[in-house]
Structure 1
Amino acid sequence: MHSLPLFHRISGQRVVVVGSGDMAEAKARLVGRAGGIPCPETEAHHARLAFVAMPDRRAAENTARRLKDAGLLVNVADRPDLCDFTLPSVLDRDPVLVAVSTGGASAGLAKHLRLRLETILPQTLGPLATSLSAARERMRARFQDSTARRRAIDAALQEGGPLDPFEPFGAAALDNWLESQTVGTDRRVEEFALSSDDPDDLTLRQARALGKADNVLHDAAISEAILARARADAKREPLPATPPSKGFTVVLRRG
């Protein structure tokens, strides 16, 4: 990855916006949408972030240097080489945010990827997320084992599941799902033989299994590019480890 993706909370905080014209106004509006307070450079001592949108390249460089020297993280419009952070194109389904970034390579590409996503992600995605958050304690009571809970949620949210996020979400859907669930911690193991280190060569079944697995057991020859497709919190172990007694385990071997 070229950057570490983060969502920075700025509600009620000052954010420096330096410049004039459409670009600076757009940055100020974005700060306001996120609950921040746009402020001038003279208030930099109150801020942690800054946006510089100035047509004069030398002036932009000098301003960015001053702000960085003051300890702020700085974004300079159209100058990725001067940026401490870049702005993604954002799809907003509050509280769900989908951010598409090219690391400053092409804002136009990021925008058009986001526009494609706009057409396929329903407006009910936000209410689904809110309902899942509100039902967290109920889900813990229903599935006291964390592995069983994760597997049940994965099954509900997968394509065609009762809580499929790509389908319209109704108010009663989550209640109906919780009432219909049974508690279980069955062990499941899937084994795949891979002949390539390219993650694009993974089959759909393999990619989905990696994204859901609680445990990943793998040959030492399996590339990091493949292993990175697993859940970040999945337990990884080199073979010949024995699959755990519960949860979903994926075993990767070189073909």
Structure 2
Amino acid sequence: MDFLPISLRLQGKPCLIVGGGKVALRKAELLLRAGGQVTALAPAFCPELERLAQEGKLALRRKAFAVPDLAGCFVVIAATDDRALNRAVAQAAQQRGILVNAVDQPESCDFILPAIVDRAPVVVAISSGGRAPVLARLLKTRLESLIPAGFGRLAELAGRFRAQVKQAIADPKRRRSFWEQALTGAPAELLLAGQGAAAEAALAKALEESSALAPLGYVALVGAGPGDPELLTLRALRLLQEADVVVYDRLVSTEILNLIRPEAEKLYAGKSRGDHSLPQETINQLLVRLAKEGKKVVRLKGGDPFVFGRGGEEIETLAGEGIPFLIVPGITAALGCASYAGIPLTHRKYAQSCLFVTGHRQGDRPNLDWDKLVVPRQTLVIYMGTLGLKEICQALIEHGMPQEMPAALIESGTTARQRVIVATVATLADRTRAENAKPPALIIIGEVVKLRAKLAWFKKTRLA
């Protein structure tokens, strides 16, 4: 190890930057974030440093460097484009016992400034010892996506409870186990979802029940999006990789299921027409039971759980049972499939409104408010309408929709299996039957479908 990682307290400490350009600016901004009293010294300064000085955030000294300028400094950064000057600044500082960094000259440095992931008070520093700064920044980018933005608030919450936990749980091993469960369980997930008061209440309850055999778990209602795993939110991905149990639907793609951590239990709760693997009430009670067993549960639904996903029914049950829960929205099938098909749902020239409906049938015909569906300059998006497509199209025509109205069916949208069938409202049912289209599929009807010929961009790569 070439450099020992340490954390310096700079609050109120005098910090000198020798240099007035963009590099000096970046170093000044970093020192200011840490609370340092920053002075920049150079014959001239870039506009951004001038602005910071005008705002009273740092001081500027318009002069060439001289050794007396080091008096009283806690740290010094040499950030000019003159390597010889940087080296001279470093030598002078080291002779006076002042910590110094010479930018891009590790041989002249007492310390180096790492790439930083800032989740204050949690801070992650990544360093290559000055050998490969770009590599350190690439690693920082990866960690930024893995560490939630609210991680610092989680540390603050733990800090507020630290003394209480230490007093309530004397045994260090049990105390460590309590914190591991709390910081990966309901209190943590509620806080990261922005529910500070609920998180604090959950942590207090967990402390009260710390002697219980099984701590209370939680349920995360997660939208899996339309199929492409890269459309998952960062929070959804993290929860999938932390879950004990994942209860998933038929519309969740195999590629997304492959992202679940291998040790997690996977429970299928899918539904298709005439085949309900688990009735909805059974699913609701399953989620309650798993959470009461102390499990971290992800309820994974295709698209968004609040758009024709019955997510509201599930969280009603959880709320009634006092189970902590959070909701992670997903990209809806309508938004994802339309985008990947090159069909904008609204357009100034063609559509000023968009209506989402389901094509579920009661008896032999879909039960829809047809007059509201046949509206000029409106895009109609139909979920779960493949089986009743012929009846839907006939009814739309009967209620005044022009037979030549453009229409499209998007099968397995956003995935490598995506197929888009474009026709008219009069011919779409016959076309999809002839081409043996199958669910999952989304139907879009409206003038906007005309734009697909010009805007189609997604080039699918079929899986082997």
Give the structure-1-normalised TM-score. Answer: 0.65
* Distance in 2, Cα, partners of 1:166 & 1:20: 45
Match of 1:154 among 169, 176, 180: 180
1:1-255 equivalence runs, <5 A: 1-39=1-39, 40=41, 42-157=68-183, 161-162=185-186, 168=192, 170-171=195-196, 172-173=198-199, 174-182=203-211
Secondary structure in 2 matching 1:63: helix
Code of the residue aligned with 1:34 in structure 2: it is A
The number of residue pairs the alignment matches comes to: 182
CA RMSD of aligned residues (A): 2.3
* Distance in 2, Cα, partners of 1:149 & 1:167: 21
Secondary structure in 1 matching 2:125: strand
Deviations 1:35-60 (A, max 9, x none): 10112464422122110012122111
Code of the residue aligned with 1:7 in structure 2: it is S
Q: Could you tell me which runs of 5 or more consecutive residues in structure 1 were left unpaired when the two chains were aligned.
A: 185-255
Shift of 1:144: 1.7
* Distance in 2, Cα, partners of 1:165 & 1:113: 25
* Distance in 1, Cα, partners of 2:190 & 2:25: 34
Q: Would you say the 8 A contact 1:120–1:166 is kept in 2?
A: no
The runs of at least 4 aligned residues of structure 1 exceeding 6 Å deviation read none
Shift of 1:131: 0.6
Q: Would you say the 8 A contact 1:48–1:71 is kept in 2?
A: no
Higher relative contact order (CA 8 A, sep 6+): 1
Q: Which has the larger radius of gyration?
A: 2
Q: Would you say the 8 A contact 1:15–1:50 is kept in 2?
A: yes
Shift of 1:165: 7.4
Deviations 1:145-173 (A, max 9, x none): 22321232134335xx4455798354233
* Distance in 2, Cα, partners of 1:17 & 1:166: 42
* Distance in 2, Cα, partners of 1:43 & 1:151: 52
Code of the residue aligned with 2:72 in structure 1: it is H
Q: Percent identity among equivalent residues?
A: 34
* Distance in 2, Cα, partners of 1:80 & 1:24: 17
* Distance in 2, Cα, partners of 1:144 & 1:102: 40
Q: Would you say the 8 A contact 1:143–1:183 is kept in 2?
A: no
